[in-house]
Amino acid sequence: MLKKIDHLGIAVHSIEKARKFYENVLGLNCEKEEEVTSQKVRTAFFVLGETHIELLEPTSDDSPIAIFLAKRGEGLHHVAYRTTDIEKQLQAAKDQGCTLIHETPITGAGNKQVAFLHPKSSHGLLTEFCSEAQ
Ligand code: ZN
């Protein structure tokens, strides 16, 4: 069952440049920065109440984020929903005919189990399910 929007993922060319907007204009605090080698991205998480803003910067040219930036430029990359049972959530999406990018969850930022649905199954917006850190 979905509990809340865990975070919004926003693709940027440079966290160093983009963070000024989130810190100075919006007044948000950066909770942590982390490189996720499996996804070839550097991330920075900003706290906003119960949810977070996740900035994503590619660490290599074949990073999924580099490909996204080349195609669509900076902007909203994905919405992440916190779920109580990620395996069940994935199976339910599959049963409804969704294409999964991850058949089984992978370890994402903050050691959370995460999995993505293909944007063609979710009307153009990449959808992430994530569980609590294990
Ligand atoms: Zn995310």
Residue 110 has pLDDT above 90, yes or no: no
- The pLDDT score that the predictor gives to residue 107 is 86
Buried b (16+ CB within 10 A) or exposed e, 43-66: bbbbeeeeebbbbbbbeeeebbbb
42 CA from centroid of ligand 1 (Å):
11
97 CA from centroid of ligand 1 (Å):
22
115-125 confidence digits (pLDDT tens): 999 999 999 99
7 CA from centroid of ligand 1 (Å):
6
**Residues within 5 Å of ion ligand 1, judged at the Cβ atom:** 9, 54, 80, 128
Domains and CATH numbers, the chain: 2-131 (3.10.180.10)
Q: Alpha carbon 56 to chain centroid distance?
A: 8
Q: What is the mean pLDDT of residues 41-54?
A: 96
Residues composing the chain: 134
